[in-house]
Amino acid sequence: PFGYVGIESVLDQMRRKAMKTGFEFNIMVVGQSGLGKSTLVNTLFKSRVSRKSCQSNYEEKISKTVNLMSVSHIIEEKGVKMKLTVIDTPGFGDQINNENCWDPIIKYINEQYEKYLKEELNINRKKKIPDSRIHCCIYFVPPTGHWLRPLDVEFMKRLGKIVSIVPVIAKADTLTLEERQEFKYQIRQDLQAHGIRVYPHKEFDEDAEDRILNDKIREKIPFAVVGTDREHQVNGNKVLGRKTKWGIIEVENVAHCEFANLRDLLIRSHLQDLKDVTHNIHYECYRVRRLNESNM
Ligand code: GDP
Ligand code: MG
């Protein structure tokens, strides 16, 4: 029996279109220097983002990041190509005075909106506008175990207004499981007290199903992550891990840390939603503001 519309055929068309055009997804890592941002980017590409392990052109030895730097990989699955780009940023907090240390990051994010807007307004508009907009910003909180520092509060306040942020507890292997739980709770309180909006936002849950799924994520935020640039042997298998005095922390094992939860949120369960929120909320805000101020 066939339906009236032939949804199967519509889905097929969408698939074919996706196969032809592919899509872009851009993540940015932000936080004080030394918190493991570059290491986590490396871990992300080394972990199972794709069945076929993608070859890495990323620096094997991680050196100090001095400039905004982007790393891209084309990931192909079932004929659909995704260009995953991670923007690594130099850490801040090295200066005695950290005032306005967010400026270069905010500027970069806005510049990508501006580029997109220029393309949209172009008379000879491209069929497909290259998308360098940041779909998600991972903010690294230092594992102090206490509360958010004023610097992190100020930074996230500004970021949260222009981009989707997912906060993480950096180097979570330096905290016990109990300490992580307490710290998470404290951070969530702080975020709320300061009116900092992190992804996924409650008010954008579309239905009860969304809410149940997203509540589970919100309970875990900020994810306690561990990054590594090494593989270790565990029970005869090679796993991405980090040696600590308690043994090897398996980075992709959800009993050990929440790296896999973060990865799955970003590039599996919420990828399309992050793209939609970026386009419909953050970019739209930017666009309206720009058109108002310039009467372009
Ligand atoms: P970035 O400045 O934020 O980019 O930090 P890096 O990735 O350069 O890492 C700084 C140092 O922290 C390096 O010595 C890393 O090996 C170490 N490191 C990175 N991730 C972790 C982690 O999850 N746990 C621990 N204990 N150390 C880490
Ligand atoms: Mg770095």
Beta carbon of 143 within 6 Å of any ligand 1 atom: no
Residues with CB in 5 Å of ion ligand 2: 37-38, 65
pLDDT for residue 96: 65
This prediction has a pTM of 0.90
39 lines ligand 1 (CB under 6 A): yes
Predicted pLDDT of residue 271: 93
Q: What is the pLDDT of residue 253?
A: 95
Which structure tokens are listed for 131?
Answer: 């998308």
Residue 174 alpha carbon, nearest atom of ligand 1:
26
Compute CA distances 223 → 12, 61, 261, whole Å: 36, 25, 7
Residue 141 CB coordination number (10 Å): 23
pLDDT in tens, 211-252: 999 999 999 999 999 999 899 988 898 999 999 888 999 999
CA 37 to centroid of chain Cα atoms: 11
pLDDT value at position 139? 97
Residue identifier of the C-alpha nearest atom 24 of ligand 1: 171
Residues in the chain: 296
Q: Which residues of the chain have pLDDT under 70?
A: 1-3, 48-63, 65-66, 93-96, 295-296
Our mutation pick for probing the ligand 1 site, out of 39, 59, 62, counting the most ligand atoms within 8 A of Cβ, is 39
Measured between alpha carbons, how far is 142 from 146 in angstroms, rounded to an integer?
10
pLDDT at residue 57 in the model: 46
List, for residues 72-89, the tens digit of each pLDDT value.
888 887 788 889 999 998
Res 52: pLDDT = 44
Which amino acid does the sequence have at 44? L
CB of 110 sitting under 6 A from ligand 1? no
Type of residue found at 16:
R
